A and B are shown apart, each in its own frame.
Chain A
Amino acid sequence: MVTYKFKPKSKLREFVGEKFMALNAFTALIVILLIFIFIFKESLPIFTNSDVRKEAGISRMVFKQQYYEGRDPKWSWQPNSEVPKYSLLPLFLGTLKAAIVAMLFAVPLAVGAAIYSSEFAPPRIREIIKPVIELLAGIPSVVLGFFALIVLATVLQKMFGFTYRLNAINADMALGLAIIPIVYTIAEDAMTSVPKSLREAAMAVGANPWQVSFTMVLPAALPGIAAGIVLGFGRAVGETMIVLLASGNAAIISAGFTESIRTLSATIAAELAEVVFGSAHYNVLFFIGTLLFVFTFLVNLGGELVLTRIKERFQGRTR
C-alpha cells in the first residue's frame, strides 16, 4: 500500500483569491464612476474658470446670444468661427429629431414583429425570425450609416425630392434599423412572459386568438414594452456613427425633418479630434459628453427598474 501525506491548504490563498475576484467584480461599478468623474472633470472649467465661462458658460449655452452688433440674438453652434458660438439648442433639437423619428419608425415595426412572433407565428417561423433579428443587431452601426449615406439617401431623394440629400429622415431610418432589435427583444420577452392563465381566461369567454392578443396580452405586457421603448430611446440618443455618416451634420434650427441635423453625440465625434486641448471648445465637448452620460444613465436605470419590477410581479411577489 502506498503511503502519502496531505498538505494543508493555504487560507491566505483562498482569501486573496476571493478578494481579487471581488475587485474584478466591482470593476464595472468603478468604471461607471470613473467615466463620470473623468468626463465631468474636463468640463469643469465651464463653471470654475472665468475666461471659459465668459466664452462658453451655461447661460451662453442655453440662451439666445447676440453675437454681432446690429443683428438679432440667435441660437447657434459654431465653435470654430471667429466669434465662437456655443448654443446647445441646435444640437438638442437635432438629437431629439433623430431619436424621435427613429422611434416612430422603429417601434411600430419592432412591436408589430414582436406581437406576431409571440402570438401568431408558428414555431418554425419563430425560429427564423429570431436569427434574423440577431443578424440585424449584429450589423455594425458604421455599416448602417454607410448604407444610409450611399444608398438610402439617393433612394429617398429620388422618391421624395428632398433638397438636402443627407437629412434627418435618412439618418433616422437607419437609426431605426439599429434600434429595432432592442425594442423587439424586450417586447417579445414581455409578451411571452404573460402567464398562460390570462390567455386561457380570455379564450374561455369566447375570444378568438387575435382578440386575446390585442385586448389581453398586449395591455398586460405594456409595461415591459414601454421599458423596451425607453431603452431603445436611450440607445437612439447615444448612437453616433449612423448620424455622423448620414445626417448631413449641420447644426441648424428648423422645424422640418428634411434638413440636415447635428446631434450631440455626432458633434463630439466630429469635433473632438481637432479641438485644442484645454480650450473652451474642449470643455464644452466634454460637458456635452457628461450630459449624454447622465441622460443614458438615468434612462437605463429607469428601464431596468421597470423590468425588474415586472419580473417580480409575474413571479408572484406583490409589493
Chain B
Amino acid sequence: MDDNGIRIRLGRIADENSFDSDKLGTAKMTVENLDFFYGDNQALKGISMNVAENRVSALIGPSGCGKSTFLRTLNRMNETIPGTRMTGTVKLDSLDIYRAIRDVSVVRTRVGMVFQKSNPFPKSIFENVAYGLKVNGISDKRVIREAVEETLKKAYLWDEVKDELDRSAYMLSGGQQQRLCIARALAVRPEVILMDEPASALDPISTSKIEDLIGDLKKTILLSLSPITCSRPQEYPITRRFSTTGR
C-alpha cells in the first residue's frame, strides 16, 4: 500500500497536490506512545503517529478496535468519561495538550470533532451553528449571523436551509443533520477536525456530498473509517495502517 496518505477515497478524492511519501508535510499533531485505559481495561497500547497538516488523513480499522477512543484522546474528550486514564503524549503544534494547556475547552476549540451519528441540539438550525460561538464569548449578533452563513455555506448546506434557519434541526434529513454538525464544528474555526466515521450512518448520496465537503475544506482533518465503507481497498493509500493497532 502506498503510504501517500492523502489520496483517500471515501469515494473520490481530496487533495490535488500529491507529493512524495517522504515529505508528508509538517505534522500538525503528534502522538507518542499513547496508552489508554477504561478503568482496568487497556484499550489503546503504545500508539505513535503524526497527523499531517492541511491534509485529510484516515484511520481505517474494523469497528471496536479503538478508533473512536483514539480520536477522543486527541481532543481530550475522554475526560468526560469517568474512570479513564492515559499515558503518553499528544501534541498540537508541539504543545502537549494534556500538560501544557490548562483549560481543556481551549483544546477543544482548536481540535474539533464530528461524531459518527449526527447529534444536533434540540434547537433551531441557526442556534445549532451559533452555539459554539456563543459559548466561547461571541455575542455580537451581526458577527454571529455572518459566521453562521459562512459556515453553512462551507458545509454545503446553506442553499438548502437558508430560508428555514429557525426550524428545528431535527426536521432535517440524516445527511443534512450531519452537514449541520460539520458546520457547527467549523464555526469554532478549529485548526484540526476529527471525524469519527462521519458518513457511516448515511446513504450513498449524502455520503458523497460529505466527501466533497471534506475534500474542499482545506484543513487538517483526521477521519476514522471502517473497512466496510471503503469499497475498493487498494485505492486507499492511507496514512496509517491503523487497523488493529492498539490491542
Contact = CB atoms under 8 A, between A and B. Distances in A.
B147 A4 contact: yes
A228 B68 CA distance: 45
Contact of A1 (B109, B133, B140, B150): B150
Contact of A4 (B103, B105, B138): B138
User: 6 tightest A-B contacts by CB?
Assistant: A7-B137, A2-B146, A6-B136, A4-B138, A4-B143, A2-B147
Contacts, number: 25
A278 interface: no
Nearest to B137: A7
25 contacts: A1-B150, A2-B143, A2-B146, A2-B147, A2-B150, A4-B133, A4-B138, A4-B140, A4-B143, A4-B147, A6-B109, A6-B136, A6-B137, A6-B138, A7-B136, A7-B137, A7-B138, A8-B103, A8-B106, A8-B137, A9-B103, A9-B105, A9-B136, A9-B137, A11-B103
Interface string A1-29: 11010111101000000000000000000
A4 B137 CA distance: 10
A37 B105 CA distance: 44
A8 B133 CA distance: 12
Nearest to B149: A2
Contacts of B103: 8-9, 11
A11 to B, nearest CB: 7
Interface residues of B, number: 13
Interface in B111-165: 133, 136-138, 140, 143, 146-147, 150
B38 to A, nearest CB: 20
Nearest to A1: B150
A4 B133 CA distance: 9
User: Interface centre among A1, A8, A9, by most B CB within 10 Å?
Assistant: A9
A8 B143 CA distance: 18
A7 B136 CA distance: 6
B164 to A, nearest CB: 22
Contacts of B150: 1-2
B76 to A, nearest CB: 15
Interface in A140-157: none
A237 B109 CA distance: 58
Nearest to A2: B146
Contacts of B146: 2
A41 to B, nearest CB: 41
B29 to A, nearest CB: 20
Contacts of B137: 6-9
Contacts of A2: 143, 146-147, 150
Interface string B68-107: 0000000000000000000000000000000000010110
A181 to B, nearest CB: 35
A17 to B, nearest CB: 14
- Point out which of B133, B137, B143, B150 has the most chain A C-beta atoms below 10 A from its C-beta: B137
A6 B105 CA distance: 11
A11 B143 CA distance: 26
Nearest to B102: A11
B200 to A, nearest CB: 31
A1 B143 CA distance: 10
A8 B146 CA distance: 22
Contacts of A8: 103, 106, 137
Contacts of A1: 150
A7 B106 CA distance: 10
